[in-house]
Amino acid sequence: MYLTSETKKEFFEKFGKNAQDTGTAEGQIALFSFRIAHLTEHLKQNKKDFSTQRALVRLVGKRRNLLDYLKDKDIERYRAIIKELKLRR
């Protein structure tokens, strides 16, 4: 599987407060971004995989909602995560 528990722990250590703090918006956004990149690569090879396409759209929506929440709550944390993940150009 492409997403192991060790990979998740690394994301939450890097973007959250610690490896057990899986509820931070930054950690979840980073994890969603990783999954979005993986699904995007999958869809480039499998253009007719509509269930994966639907899952990708839902995942992008979840990440957008978390980013909006973070922007309303703390603009500096929002700017930091955007810069670190290179989501905006």
Residue 39 sits in a domain of what CATH number? Answer: 1.10.287.10
Q: Which one has a higher pLDDT value, 51 or 20?
A: 51
pLDDT-derived band of residue 1, with 50, 70 and 90 as boundaries?
low
8-41 pLDDT, tens digit each: 898 899 988 888 888 899 999 999 999 999 999 9
Q: Is the pTM of this model over 0.75?
A: yes
- Report the chain's mean pLDDT, rounded to a whole number: 93
What is the domain range of residue 62? 5-85
Question: Distances from the Cα of 20 to the Cαs of 11, 25, 58, 71, in angstroms?
Answer: 11, 13, 25, 24
Domain count, the chain: 1
In Å, how far from its chain's centre is CA 53? Answer: 16
Tokens read off for 67? 């980013």
